């Protein structure tokens, strides 16, 4: 089947939204990106232009348009990816707004780290055109995307989504049967949960846990550096979403993590999380 996806809208230009936009633009798609925060939108533009220049794709710069108006951002789009914060009610509200404005043929995907799209689909009429499309930033070094159906997603929508993922240079990671956390994210959830619990109970220092992880896996970063990169607000919200689902006390994020989030120690983006960082501009 030939995909008809040509223009992609990204809703939410934060940490992941801007990366999805850059990856999509790198592979010649037109991109329209929207955020409620104009400063974030400007930062996203700087980031995306930087990525395209570094990849010697200056001609793609003009194919990315930045909007503070949702109606304009959704004009003539074939695929819309929601990348707003991990909050179910917010995601439903944004899905409903998109559904009311976007062309009727457009597919709506969510980049949620934990919510199956079946929990969001009640907000839209086009239930056959929704998907989970979950990215793994940094996208260029982790080029894979979980793809999962909602309860009424059509095969055509799923196929189009799968083809589009390959067209932006990523590997589709297919979830056959709905599950919380998709594929690799679910495995990462277990590692993250246990690392957090060991830190909370004082079983080992974060540096020790990170060191052991790096030696064993050969990866450059351990779980605490990874969490600082993801953003501790997102880590907390995702962990809460697992806990609300499972009721398993092991899934409950430590109170100490909540305190860090309330203090604004969110990781690399604020300069302090589990580690201290030079503040990301
Ligand atoms: P972020 O806070 O960096 O970005 C979210 C953006 O959404 C912000 O710029 C904010 O201004 C914007 N926003 C808020 N409300 C909006 C609205 N109503 N309309 C449009 N924009 C709005 O968060 P993030 O880390 O990019 O996470 C976004 C989503 O991606 C979450 O669902 C998260 O679980 C998921 N995700 C995150 C990661 C990660 O590593 N951080 C990885 C995969 C998936």
96 and 145, same domain (yes or no)? yes
Q: Which helix (H) or strand (E) holds 25?
A: helix 15-26
Helix, strand, or coil (residue 189) = helix
Give mean pLDDT, residues 171-178.
97
83 CA → ligand 1 middle, Å: 5
Q: Both tokens of residue 61? A: 């710069």
Q: Which helix (H) or strand (E) holds 206?
A: helix 206-217
Residue 248 belongs to a domain: yes
Test site for ligand 1: of 9, 11, 15, 71, most ligand atoms within 8 A of the Cβ: 15
14 and 56, same domain (yes or no)? yes
Residue 41 belongs to a domain: yes
Residue 155 belongs to a domain: yes
103 and 139, same domain (yes or no)? yes
Test site for ligand 1: of 67, 83, 280, most ligand atoms within 8 A of the Cβ: 83
Q: CB count, 10 Å around CB of 199?
A: 21
| Ligand 1 cavity residues, CB under 6 Å | 11-17, 34-37, 40, 83-86, 94, 111-113, 134-135, 137, 230-231, 234, 238
Long-range contacts of 44-53 (CB under 8 A, 24+ apart): 44/13, 44/14, 44/17, 44/18, 47/18, 47/19, 47/22, 48/18, 48/21, 48/22, 51/22, 51/25, 51/26, 52/22, 52/25, 52/26
Give mean pLDDT, residues 101-117.
96
pLDDT at 278: 85
- For residue 11, the ligand 1 atom closest to its alpha carbon is 20
Q: Give the domain CATH number at 242.
A: 1.10.1040.50
111 CA → ligand 1 middle, Å: 8
Q: Both tokens of residue 157? A: 């929508």
Structural domain that includes position 136 = 7-174
Evaluate if residue 281 carries a pLDDT over 50: no
148 and 251, same domain (yes or no)? no
Model confidence pLDDT, tens digit, residues 147-164: 999 999 999 999 999 999
Nearest to 248 by CA among 170, 180, 149: 180
**Domain count of the fold of the chain:** 2
Q: Which sign, positive or negative, has the C-alpha torsion 121, 5, 77, 169?
A: positive
Residue 13 belongs to a domain: yes
Task: Quote the percentage of the chain above a pLDDT of 90.
Answer: 94
Give mean pLDDT, residues 65-74.
98
Model confidence pLDDT, tens digit, residues 218-263: 999 999 999 999 999 999 999 999 999 889 999 999 999 999 999 9
């Amino acid at each position: 089947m030939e995909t008809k996806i040509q223009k992609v809208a990204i809703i939410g230009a934060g940490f992941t939204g801007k990366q999805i936009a850059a990856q999509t633009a790198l592979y010649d798609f037109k991109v329209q990106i929207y955020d409620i925060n104009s400063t974030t939108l400007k930062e996203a533009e700087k980031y995306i232009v930087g990525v395209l220049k570094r990849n010697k794709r200056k001609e793609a710069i003009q194919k990315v348009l930045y909007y503070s108006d949702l109606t304009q951002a959704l004009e003539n789009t074939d695929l819309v990816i929601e990348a707003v914060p991990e909050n179910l009610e917010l995601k439903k509200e944004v899905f409903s707004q998109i559904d009311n404005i976007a062309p009727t043929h457009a597919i709506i995907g969510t980049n949620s780290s934990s919510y199956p799209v079946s929990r969001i689909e009640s907000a839209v009429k086009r239930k056959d055109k929704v998907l989970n499309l979950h990215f793994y930033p940094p996208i260029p070094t982790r080029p894979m995307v979980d793809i999962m159906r909602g309860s009424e997603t059509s095969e055509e929508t799923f196929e189009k989504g799968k083809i589009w993922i390959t067209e932006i240079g990523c590997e589709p990671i297919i979830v056959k049967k709905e599950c919380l956390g998709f594929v690799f994210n679910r495995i990462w959830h277990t590692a993250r949960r246990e690392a957090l619990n060991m830190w909370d109970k004082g079983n080992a220092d974060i540096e020790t846990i990170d060191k052991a992880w790096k030696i064993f896996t050969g990866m450059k970063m351990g779980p605490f550096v990874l969490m600082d990169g993801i953003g501790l607000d997102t880590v907390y919200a995702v962990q809460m979403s697992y806990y609300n689902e499972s009721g398993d006390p092991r899934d409950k994020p430590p109170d100490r993590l909540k305190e860090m989030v309330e203090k604004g120690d969110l990781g690399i983006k604020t300069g302090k999380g589990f580690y201290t960082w030079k503040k990301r501009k």
